[in-house]
Amino acid sequence: MYTSSTSLHYFFYVHYNNIPGDALATQSGDAVSGASDDHKLPESHQQPSGFQRQVYLPRLEGIRVGHVQKVSLVPDKVHEMRTLSLKPLLFEIPGFLSEEECRVVVQLAQMKGLMESQVMVPEGQEELTEQLNLSAEEIFNLLDLNQDGQLQLQEILTHSRVLDGIWLTPENLREIYAGLKADPDGNGLLSLEEFRLLGTDAFQRFLQQRGVKSSQLVRNSRHTWLYQGQGSHQVLRDLKNRVTRLTRLPSALVDLSEPLQVVRYEQGGHYHAHHDSGPVYPETACTHTRLAANSSTPFETSCRYITVLFYLNSVEGGGETAFPVADNRTYEEVSLIQNNVDLMDTRKNCDKSNLRVKPVRGTAVFWYNYLSDGQGWVGEQDEYSLHGGCVVTRGTKWVANNWINIDPDYQRQARYQQLVSQQEGAGEGAEDEGKQSVSQSSPEQLHPDDSHQEL
């Protein structure tokens, strides 16, 4: 998850290091990319020798909301894939898994054991902010989006939504104000003087003293990871192959992506709205290619080009996957909180989301977290991919996630694939042809089948 606390640190860093042209901080605090006709790092971040562009990522067409396509994913069976939204480009495939396959995945996860799911600020970012040596006035001016000299609740929450895995709402922000006596006049606004008296770490100190309930966490669930490569259970390998056929992506990209994540939500479990990926700029590295990038960057993020979400059971009550701004005309993060309604708060406002997908056993939904760059590669983050898990009101919810990791910077992705291929070749005699370099993928890999048909 790309958290808002990460956004705050990055926002400060961008502002005081003057990112040129292709990533400027806008008045709303969001970063906006320039023309996406190349996705290259500055010269200081690039290797002397580049990879010739040979791979173009296929991208499915949504056509229109409600459009249905026939897809061939397994022998002797045709699935129907329905377009749920165009922003983000989102599809639903009923019966993607059989009832038995769902049962096997759940059992494998239980056998391995599940751990508490947490969302934490990446290490080093607090220190980075300290290194910037920002004054209270400078921080205040950055947070004051409309420059009216006062901080509104939504202005603070836009860049400080998450603190150490704790979800801040307008209500508990007011509670913090009261507990710290930060707003003497009680108007819900902070002046510069009040902000100075408050201190930048006051929120964390207050929450530590008060304690935190599970319902106040960004997510309340347990999860585990299941390997899908050679030697894994046949159901897991079949699932990965099905995802490859569904997305039409080269098998090399799917094979080297994250393992299958299996998540269990008990009654009361939830996951507030978030993006699975963050925007990538010269100052940010993708987690999966960072070591191969051979460069030092202060930030990293998960670069998940596609999310494929599987429902492993039918939930008795609640547990929908909500897309708060699906097919909205515009997207502004500060507008997600209006009249004390926080669209990112899935515990309270799931019913106000533009789109909700009901969890039905065996159904898969998948969407693109990035736009296309117009030249067959990964472009800017699709902000409309904001999504979350509504509260489970009855029963238990089991889901699984396949994330396809692709670096928006083609050179870094190709270098990463080449390094992995070389390591495998040295260790296994280069026998595994399924994980060859992206730069050497064959046309058959790029378009492995013609499984998508119009209905």
Q: Is 337 left (phi over 0), alpha (psi -120 to 50) or beta?
A: beta
CB 405 within 8 A of CB 305: yes
Q: Is the peptide bond before 88 cis (omega within 30 degrees of 0)?
A: yes
Q: How far is CA 448 from CA 63, 151, 309, 440, in A?
A: 22, 53, 22, 15
Give the pLDDT confidence of 307-343 residue by residue, as tens digits.
999 999 999 999 999 999 999 999 988 788 888 788 9
CATH number of 62-119+221-454: 2.60.120.620
pLDDT for position 165: 46
Give the pLDDT confidence of 159-183 residue by residue, as tens digits.
555 444 455 666 656 666 666 666 7
Give the pLDDT confidence of 371-402 residue by residue, as tens digits.
999 999 999 999 999 999 999 999 999 999 99
Residue ranges, CATH 2.60.120.620, the chain: 62-119+221-454
The candidate with the shortest Cα–Cα distance to 305, out of 68, 57, 8, is 57
Give the pLDDT confidence of 234-269 residue by residue, as tens digits.
999 999 999 999 999 999 999 999 999 999 999 999
- DSSP assignment of 197-255, as one string? HH-TTHHHHHHHHH---GGGBSEE-EEEEE--STTS-HHHHHHHHHHHHHHT--HHHHH
CATH class of 1-34+122-163+166-216: mainly alpha
Q: What is the 8-class DSSP label of residue 275? A: B
CA distance 385 to 379: 14
Specify the higher pLDDT residue, 277 or 44.
Answer: 277
Q: Provide the token pair at 91.
A: 């599809």
Q: Which residues contact 235 (CB under 8 A, 6 or more apart)?
A: 101, 104, 105, 108
Q: How far is CA 257 from CA 132, 252, 405, 445, in A?
A: 34, 9, 5, 16
Provide the whole-model pTM.
0.72
Residue ranges, CATH 1.10.238.10, the chain: 1-34+122-163+166-216
Length of the chain: 455
The candidate with the shortest Cα–Cα distance to 363, out of 174, 111, 98, is 98
CB 168 within 8 A of CB 351: no
Give the pLDDT confidence of 83-98 residue by residue, as tens digits.
999 999 999 999 999 9
